[in-house]
Amino acid sequence: MLLPESLFEKFGTEFEAGQIIFCEYEPGTDCYFIQEGQVKITKTVSRNQKTLDIIGPGDFFGEMAILEEEPRSASAIAVDDVRALRFKQENFDSLMNSIPQLAFQLLKIFAHRIFDQRRRLQILIIDEPQPRIADVFLMLAEKDKNYGHTNQLTFPITVEDVAAWAGMAPAETQRVVSAFVNQGKLELFADRVVIKNINDFKRMVANKRKTLE
Ligand code: CMP
């Protein structure tokens, strides 16, 4: 989306990799529009941090506290160095009125979140652990700008994140992920998962879905 250059001068802000931008339950008076970098949105569920989403350029975050006048519904952490526009609550209405592209972008993001919820349900319909976890990787790949250009993909996620998306216990998820590691399908690090060839997982999911039709 092409935005007026003056917006960047007036509202531009930066966060370093790993920086906490805001925490769940805090009062929130600012919202952000990402220009560069990725932001992880996490929520505490049963004392565990669950990743709701990893968002990137063109995404808004922090708008819910402003629109609903509620505390932050989730935490936001910079995954890598992030450049963003920061809008204050008091400027929000006039910005949306004066720059309709921003309002339209917000609408698209809300529609996308509904699509995302439906996509997550598709994962839960798969009744076998291996293809179910494969579908978690596929869902993440579908949102990755490199998907379709390169077979190897890196996601800044943990096994606990995978378990939460798969709706499975962390121990069972770890067992399945370790089996993928042993088969050479992925590499596991403390802060990321490297998928060697996303097409392996795509095939696994497609074969499973055929049996569910
Ligand atoms: P806010 O509640 O102000 O602070 C946390 C932000 O995370 C929230 O606004 C949204 O911008 C974002 N957020 C909340 N839930 C989700 C979700 N399920 N997927 C993506 N982003 C979310």
| 209 CA from centroid of ligand 1 (Å) | 30
| pLDDT tens column, 152-195 | 999 999 999 999 999 999 999 999 999 999 999 999 999 899 99
d(CA 132, CA 52) in angstroms, rounded, equals 17
| 181 CA from centroid of ligand 1 (Å) | 32
Does 5-119 match 126-212 in CATH topology? no
| 65 CA from centroid of ligand 1 (Å) | 9
| pLDDT tens column, 108-121 | 999 998 999 999 99
- Dihedrals φ, ψ of 167, to 5°? 65, 35
**Cβ(136)–Cβ(162) under 8 Å?**
yes
The pTM score is 0.81
| pLDDT tens column, 55-93 | 999 899 999 999 899 999 999 999 999 999 999 988 888
Supply the pLDDT for residue 2: 66
| pLDDT tens column, 125-157 | 999 999 999 999 999 999 999 999 999 999 999
CATH architecture, domain 126-212: Orthogonal Bundle (1.10)
**Cβ(55)–Cβ(34) under 8 Å?**
yes
Residue closest via CA to ligand 1's atom 11 equals: 61
d(CA 168, CA 153) in angstroms, rounded, equals 23
**Domain extent listing, the chain:** 5-119, 126-212
Q: Which CATH number fits domain 5-119: 2.60.120.10, 3.50.30.30, 3.40.50.1010, 2.30.30.40?
A: 2.60.120.10
